[in-house]
Chains A and B, each alone.
Chain A
Amino acid sequence: MKISTYVKSGILHIVLDGEMDEYSASSARRETDRLIDLSPPLEKAYIDLEKVTFMDSTGIGFLIGRYKKLQRLGMEVYLKNPNPTADKVLSLGGIYTLIPKV
């Protein structure tokens, strides 16, 4: 899984690209947290899921972990563009009550 970030209109965009499972999660956690720490202080973050081709419950755990970190840094967090596969897992996990979709 590839992780990248960019800032647009004052919003931190975190882009996930690839398959999110237990195998990819540990390095994805490390890399995402590193990029979040490098980010300038902002009020909002979007986690862009458009390029996530597979996600299981490990992905729910991953998103909850990143949400908590971003919240501690004072950021509002939103999920962007989940494909139908990820959307089904995320809806079932009740994640959108915690991290709304934009």
Chain B
Amino acid sequence: MKNYMNLELLAISENESFARSAVAAFALTLNPSLSELSDIKTAVSEAVTNCIVHAYKSNKNPENKILLSCQTHEVDGVGELHIQVSDYGCGIENVSEAMQPFFTTLSPSERAGMGFTIMQAFSSEFLVESEKGKGTTVKMIKRISEGGKSEENA
């Protein structure tokens, strides 16, 4: 491991922009391309939003927290950003069903059910661990290509 950052924040939507920007800023030492940086922001936003809208039923409880932990690694000369987003909310009963594109437990007229699909597509490795009643952890790894140094190779 080369570097790490741990962030604990209240699960409210006001914090979404801060959370994704903090991870993007932390990732800068890996010299990501603009498109890699934008993938990171979007994937983090999906994970954090899910904690806010799904994990905790009662809003604004100061106990509703999100734990965001990031590390940078270098594996065989390739920079990697490891991201972990955890909540201590309701958990997911059936993870593989929840990960299906277009699956949502909220109103499908305003929600696409694409969060997990986007996290998967925008990261190099992706894993969801969840226990009903205990909470959910999303783990993502984003590999930063050498091309990141010369802009827009991705």
Contact = CB atoms under 8 A, between A and B. Distances in A.
Contacts of B122: 88
Contacts of B38: 84-85, 88
Given A68-B109, A89-B42, A21 B17 contact: yes
A66 to B, nearest CB: 10
B59 to A, nearest CB: 12
Contact of A56 (B35, B49, B52, B121): B49
Given A21-B13, A21-B45, 7 more contacts: A21-B16, A22-B16, A23-B14, A55-B42, A88-B39, A88-B42, A89-B42
Given A57-B114, A92-B114, A64 B13 contact: no
A19 interface: yes
A58 B109 CA distance: 11
Interface of B: 13-14, 16-17, 20, 35, 38-39, 41-42, 45-46, 49, 52-53, 109-115, 117-118, 121-122
Which secondary structure characterizes the binding site on chain B? helix
Given A23-B16, A84-B35, A92-B118, A56 B42 contact: yes
B114 A60 contact: yes
Which secondary structure characterizes the binding site on chain A? helix
A93 B41 contact: no
A54 B121 CA distance: 17
B94 to A, nearest CB: 19
Interface in A44-77: 54-58, 60-62, 64-65, 68
A54 B49 CA distance: 14
Nearest to A84: B35
Interface in A75-93: 84-85, 88-89, 92-93
A101 interface: no
Contacts of A64: 109-110, 112
